Structure 1
Amino acid sequence: MAYIMVDIESDGPIPGDYSMISFGAVLVDEQLNKTFYGKCKPISNKFIPEALAVSGFTREETMEFDDAATVMKSFANWISRVAQDRPIFISDNNGFDWMFICWYFHHFTGSNPFGFSSQNLGSLYKGVVLDTFQNFKHLRKTKHTHNPVDDARGNAEALLTLKKEYDLKIKF
């Protein structure tokens, strides 16, 4: 299986009404050097200024980003190139990240290369340490910057640490 760590930034809480502004993906392996970065032009006139501010972009800047359909097709092509086996979507907040990626794939390409399921790094960590009050974020090496590639890389580093330090049975 090919685990692909994903992180997204948006200008609001849900896809369709609001827009995925940018996203990053990292193929989880020892090198963490296969990455994808997409910046999508807004698909809606609605946005929440505070949500957009997290991304570090202005509304004017986002209006110059690439068409979402083009970005999602490029992402699907990247996944097919780097995933030697079935791609597995994983993120630290898959309820949020998955919602946008899945919606954008189906809306703009007609299918989702990840299928119909996703995995949550935070829940995996809680299960490994047998404590639902624990958080994995101390396992990141790359600083959490809200650049989605940096954030996905930091989360991928945490997953690699789980494999090594906790003898997690997982294949990359």
Structure 2
Amino acid sequence: MPDSKANPEIYVSTDIEADGPIPGPHSMLSLASVAYDPDGQEMGSFSVNLETLEGAEAHPRMVEWWAQFPEAWAECRKDLVAPEPAMQAYADWIEALPGRAVFVGWPAGWDFMWVYWYLMRFTGRRPFHENALDIRTYAMALRRLEYRKSGKSYLPKRWFSEQRPHTHVALDDAREQGELFMHMLRENRRDET
């Protein structure tokens, strides 16, 4: 069994923005991750805005949704990078982390689907393997409540960072949810001792 001190888990809080419900017919617009060590210290971040996929189109409902957030839309359309070099750089960044990367998201099912598809399509690499931790599911287990009673409005205020609003800018949201997860993880570990 590998030594957890020599190969610690690195929690990679990740958020994506997209223009549709699934990758392929639609595009991932931006990707951001913030890495945390097991003690909750931020180790670094990665952020990139991507060019849309060739032949893909924005879903009409997502066009309407983005119209509500013009500042976030403008932010995710700056300094665009083609998907292949963007994902190569992202995989390199994850693999350079000093430990085993664990994808962390809210909802992990959504964000991980996009990240995994793009990584496989453009790099053929699996730096997370299939390790994806869903923060809401973690909250459900911590609080011993039903999943439907584990949304953000049900969570204790002490788990949230007051200075982190949800902006729909990928890097902001990755940091916001990363801090939320690390507060939960620290509290859970305190309860074990």
Q: Deviations over 1:76-118 (max 9, x none)?
A: 111122x212211110111110110000000000122111231
- CA distance in 2 between partners of 1:127 and 1:45 (Å): 38
Gaps of 5+ in 2: 1-8
Q: 128-137 or 34-43, which moves further after superposition? A: 128-137
1:25 to 15, 33, 49: 33
- CA distance in 2 between partners of 1:165 and 1:45 (Å): 43
TM-score relative to the length of structure 1:
0.86
CA RMSD of aligned residues (A): 2.3
- CA distance in 2 between partners of 1:156 and 1:108 (Å): 26
Q: 155-164 or 106-115, which moves further after superposition? A: 155-164
2:121 to 103, 107, 111: 107
User: Computing the radius of gyration over CA atoms, which structure comes out larger, 1 or 2?
Assistant: 2
The correspondence of residues 1-172 of structure 1 with structure 2, limited to 5 A, is 1-29=9-37, 30-43=40-53, 44-48=55-59, 49-53=63-67, 56-57=72-73, 62=77, 65-81=80-96, 83-132=97-146, 133-136=149-152, 138=157, 139-141=159-161, 142-167=164-189
The runs of 4+ residues in structure 1 deviating greater than 6 Å are none
2:165 alignment partner AA: K
Count of paired positions: 167
- CA distance in 1 between partners of 2:181 and 2:79 (Å): 34
Q: Aligned with 1:34: secondary structure?
A: strand
Identity of aligned residues (%): 26
- CA distance in 2 between partners of 1:93 and 1:42 (Å): 22
Q: Deviations over 1:41-66 (max 9, x none)?
A: 000431021254458326xx849611
Distance 1:167 1:115, change over 3 A: same
Distance 1:116 1:134, change over 3 A: closer
